[in-house]
Structure 1
Amino acid sequence: MNDQTFSLQPFPSTKSLPNLKITGNIDRNSHQLTIRYTLGGDLKEIAIAPPSNAQLRKPELWKDTCFEFFISIKDSQRYWEFNLSPAGHWNVYRFDGYRQGMQEETAFTILPFNVQNQAEGLALVLDVDLAKIVSVKQAIEVGITTVIKHRNGEVTYWALTHQGAEADFHLRDSFIVEL
């Protein structure tokens, strides 16, 4: 077990909403990865899609409020991008290298997760079996991110760290959690 807490920071050049906080924890136990995001603060200023009855794979979730994380196998160019919408929609993409060879990862046909509206914010929890893409013996590096779309249409980009001159979640220097 390797449970780690996190707190995301907005990209420095974007205006973020006051009192908005994105925190959580991530844990890898054998082949299971559990990640929990907590979005707290004044959520009435954030565009959050209403919950859907069906959790469907959908493209381009990052154009709206979306919780994301990136996984790479240590010392490998290949990585995966996981997108989770508060509406319940999801997608997983595989890349051969930095923004190269993007395609939907077909190893996942469903990605069930829970979204809970709480008095102080919103929580999203995913428990996923990584055995379909990563061996238990392989160390992974993780980048944890979130896209927040404001009701006025502005978008802010949140991550553990921002390594580029522009917000870019795909930079491997940003995959700083080791599990």
Structure 2
Amino acid sequence: MNDQTFYLQPFPSPKSLPNLKIAGNIARNSNQLTICYTLEGDLKEIAIAPPSNAPSRKHELWEDTCFEFFIGIKDSARYWEFNLSPAGHWNIYRFDGYRQGMQEETASTILPFNVQNQADGLALALDVDLDKIVSAEQAIEVAITTVIKHRDGEVTYWALTHRGAEADFHLRDSFIVEL
């Protein structure tokens, strides 16, 4: 098992950011991936969708507050983007290379995860079996990210690292967690 703690940083912005902290941990045990996010701080300034009674696969979740991670196979251009909405909606996309060949990943038809609203924050936890997309023997590289939409409509981008001149979660040199 390879368990790592993470802390996300906002992409530099001239605008003042609300007092937020995004942290968590990620682990891979055999081919089971576990990722947990905690969002703490002044959440009344953040647009967070209420829990849905019928969570489902949806597109363009990144246009609102959305927890994301990207998995790439080491030494391969192929990667996957996982989107998790605090409302319970989700999606997985497969790419052949940097922003190339985007397709909905149909190997998964459900992606259940847990969202807990807490007094001073929000916690999101996901356990996912990676067998349908990568083998347990393949080393993976992961980028952990979050999109935060503020009540005023402004969007901030949070990641382990920002390697580009603009916020771009798809840059492979930002897939810095190896599992």
Q: Identify the residue that residue 37 of structure 2 maps to in structure 1.
A: 37
Q: Which residue does the alignment assign to 1:164?
A: 164
1:90–1:178 CA distance, 2 compared to 1 (3 A) = same
1:113 Cα offset (Å): 0.1
SS at match of 2:62: helix
Q: Deviations over 1:11-62 (max 9, x none)?
A: 0135353320000000000010000000000000000000001120000000
CA distance in 2, matches of 1:50, 1:72: 31
Kindly indicate whether residue 168 of structure 2 is the aligned counterpart of residue 176 of structure 1. no
Name the counterpart of 1:13: 13
Q: Give the secondary-structure state (helix, strand or coil) at the position aligned to 2:148.
A: strand
Match of 1:59 in 2: 59
For the 8 Å contact 1:10–1:16, the answer to whether it is kept is no
Percent sequence identity is 87
What TM-score results when the alignment is normalised by the length of structure 1? Answer: 0.98
Show the counterpart of 1:126. 126
Q: Shift in Å at residue 140 of structure 1?
A: 0.2
Q: How has the CA–CA distance of structure 1 residues 14 and 77 changed in structure 2, closer, same or farther, with 3 Å as cutoff? A: farther
Q: Deviations over 1:45-103 (max 9, x none)?
A: 00000000112000000000000000000000000000000000000000000000000
Q: Which runs of 4+ in 1 moved over 6 A?
A: none
Gaps of 5+ in 2: none
What are the Cα deviations for residues 111-136 of structure 1, in whole angstroms up to 9, with x where unaligned? 00000001120000000000000100
Superposition TM-score, scaled by structure 2 size: 0.98
Letter in 2 for 1:128: V
Partner of 1:114: 114
